[in-house]
Structure 1
């Protein structure tokens, strides 16, 4: 990788010398005996010396500052990002908060079943959204210690998948997951709808993570910008709207009537998945590298955003930085694709 560098800075110009103060020391009368002792140095009673004039501005520099490449030479910013990973509100708490705040978004004629796994949070530095999403997913696949983000960045750079942390290929992300996390990785093609829909939902209901490229709106939700706002999220949960909750293995939430959770440690009768033509009945529980919280995204909205990732962002193309984009561009690398991850010993 070739990185433009700034020219060496010229030595600073020393401040101009100022003449010594001409102030005279004037004898002071003795202090009254009943006053407390003052904690001022003797020089503070001298006539104040005017401060020296400010330094001249630094000489202008030419060229551009080198872009920061994440993961190189034990990056200081990367270390800070890793240190910020910590406990955050759980997925169930986030969902209940969203259901209370946005009651009008969720159909009142349905009962809701929440399948979810808790994901940690890590706020990304630079264009690392895909690697941060993979790191979050890795906490459900790897041992409790997890795989450090620094390791993911290092392997991705060594294999030529990225320069600055960007990931514009679902296939490369799958290869990286297999090597660095030791998991199964399935590249899904043809979009999240149609025959793929039930496969995706069953995968998430089983507690396995799903990595999804999409266009990110100002509030981090999916939108349609032709790939100009391409971003990555990880989903490890789903909120299903059903007509009837199966009688085996579910309990109603004590705070929110109509919301049901699988009972841990007991067998569950799988619910009937809502049909694709049933709008507003399926919400993916997603997380991405710009927020501490989980979000609920309408499945059809995610599907449509994922299907229109076709163009590389003009602002990125003009920013003077280097990016790894596969042959065929964003359309070939991201459009209509997702990554399903499972532990290595998983049979389904």
Structure 2
């Protein structure tokens, strides 16, 4: 890995809206305006920024990467899954419209989505409403950190996945108490993996968006996999917040829940 650059200052006070154009390199801190840093990514400003901040291939292009830009949408209330799905659809079906559908179909009361299977049904309906053609949706069980999924991402697949979010929204292990949805819209393979893509867990990063930040995130695929696999139970705090949530039979850790499951989209 390359030398870690100085820590970036706080983001600028003026934050672009979800309808604004992607930021330009000049919008970022002068600390990062260095042609020697992440030159390989300078055609995608948000990719460039997240790699610079996370010390990913600062002075040498990665072995392979794939990235698809989606506009960010900020969530209101417990609508992280609906917002992530709306981002995937480029806002063609809004989070409010998805909330209405999910209520009518009995998937949600407040925007929460605690069933991967129900999310797949909602996604299929939303894709139809958006009139997006030739998109296939798959519910995958297990094997997130695998050569199969790495190659799917390198071939342009997009993922929707639930995980436990830490204070900075990165993956953590809290037994499902901070379950949150993210859109996986890219992947970076730092160095040649040889015959084994998963031999080095620090070699594979995924590029993600979610409803609590306007900035692209980069996490190791292994960390995201571990976090997804630990979604065992509904948050005790939410059980006492006065809202009524729709939970799958057996809870979020069982077959109809979120644990060890994710959605894979092809054709977008």
Fold shared, TM-score > 0.5 on shorter chain: yes
Give the Å deviation of 1:277.
1.7
Return closer, same or farther for 1:191/1:279 CA change in 2, 3 Å cut-off. Answer: closer
Q: Measure the CA separation in 2 of the matches of 1:190 and 1:317.
A: 28
Q: Measure the CA separation in 2 of the matches of 1:126 and 1:281.
A: 35
Q: 1:117 aligned to 2:68?
A: yes
CA RMSD of aligned residues (A): 2.5
TM-score normalised to structure 2 length: 0.77
Q: 1:315 aligned to 2:237?
A: yes
Q: Which one has the largest radius of gyration?
A: 1
- Asked whether the 8 Å contact 1:238–1:283 carries over to 2, the reply is yes
Alignment match of 1:155 (pick from 89, 101, 125): 101
Q: Which residue of 2 aligns with 1:340?
A: 264
Give the Å deviation of 1:85.
4.2
Give the Å deviation of 1:86.
3.5
Q: 1:237 aligned to 2:186?
A: yes
Alignment match of 1:296 (pick from 199, 208, 218): 218
Q: Which residue of 2 aligns with 1:178?
A: 124
Q: 1:89 aligned to 2:13?
A: no
TM-score normalised to structure 1 length: 0.60
- Asked whether the 8 Å contact 1:311–1:329 carries over to 2, the reply is yes
Give the Å deviation of 1:84.
4.7
Alignment match of 1:126 (pick from 55, 71, 77): 77
- Asked whether the 8 Å contact 2:147–2:197 carries over to 1, the reply is no
- Asked whether the 8 Å contact 2:116–2:263 carries over to 1, the reply is yes
Q: 1:199 aligned to 2:123?
A: no
4+ residue segments displaced more than 4 Å: 105-110
- Asked whether the 8 Å contact 2:79–2:95 carries over to 1, the reply is no
Q: Measure the CA separation in 2 of the matches of 1:303 and 1:122.
A: 24
Secondary structure of residue in 1 paired with 2:87: helix
- Asked whether the 8 Å contact 2:50–2:216 carries over to 1, the reply is no
Return closer, same or farther for 1:135/1:273 CA change in 2, 3 Å cut-off. Answer: farther
Aligned residues: 226
Q: Which string of whole-angstrom CA distances, capped at 9 and with x for unpartnered residues, describes residues 217-271 of structure 1?
A: 1111100000000000001110112239xxxxxxxxxxxxxxxxxxxxxxxxxxx
Secondary structure of residue in 1 paired with 2:169: coil
Q: Measure the CA separation in 1 of the matches of 2:18 and 2:195.
A: 37
Q: 1:215 aligned to 2:139?
A: no
Q: Measure the CA separation in 2 of the matches of 1:279 and 1:335.
A: 20
Q: Which residue of 1 aligns with 2:205?
A: 283
Q: Which runs of 5 or more residues in structure 1 are unaligned?
A: 1-82, 140-144, 245-271
Q: Which string of whole-angstrom CA distances, capped at 9 and with x for unpartnered residues, describes residues 43-100 of structure 1?
A: xxxxxxxxxxxxxxxxxxxxxxxxxxxxxxxxxxxxxxxx854333389322322333
